[in-house]
Amino acid sequence: MNIKILLADDHKIVSDCLEPLLNKQPDMQVVARAENGQLAVRLTQKMEPDVVIMDIAMPDLNGIEATRQIIAHCPGVKVIALSMNSGRRFVTGMLNAGASGYLTKNCSFEELVSAVRNVVANKKYLSPEISGTVIEETLPTSSPLTTREREVLQLLAEGKTVKEIASQLCLSIKTIHTHRKQIMEKLGIHSIAELTKYALREGLTSLK
């Protein structure tokens, strides 16, 4: 039985390279690709893969938030982070969101294959370079923001207008204004520039 895999990465070259290599494995098949977090969530619900290989720094919805939504809606799906970021905040963010594995993009393809097989067998997998220093420090963290507020914050930090965010999230402009006001009140922040800095610090978005 093939392990069904969804690739979520906004860099086409990464997916272009990984897809044929994974498909050559006798027990693996790439069933879908997504270039942003929102699409990854939708395709996971539609395609029901066994494993999602997830980048963190993606537009519209970052990998941490996408993972949180995937685990909430499809608890049987395993998520493996594959990211350039190895910082503690990113790793703990993904693990707290429900990811079963975390690898950096300088890992070998063989290690990625091993990680896929490990998480399907209900085991955790962390790259050796980060496991020793991070796993001991991984504690549940709470955010003052709701899931919807984190989505809105990421889009604001990415330079989207209120009208664009409303359209993208299928909400009214008034609702987005309300979310923005609540975000600022909860965080004690009063400018988009400071919101952007906060989003960067929290790993909600990243500078490309």
- What is the pTM (predicted TM-score) of this model? 0.71
pLDDT for 145-184, tens place per residue?
888 898 899 899 888 999 999 999 999 999 999 999 999 9
Domains and CATH numbers, the chain: 3-137 (3.40.50.2300), 147-201 (1.10.10.10)
Cite the beta strand spans of the chain per DSSP E: 3-8, 28-34, 51-54, 78-83, 101-104, 125-126
Compute CA distances 185 → 47, 142, 159, 182, whole Å: 39, 17, 20, 5
Tell me the average pLDDT of the chain: 89
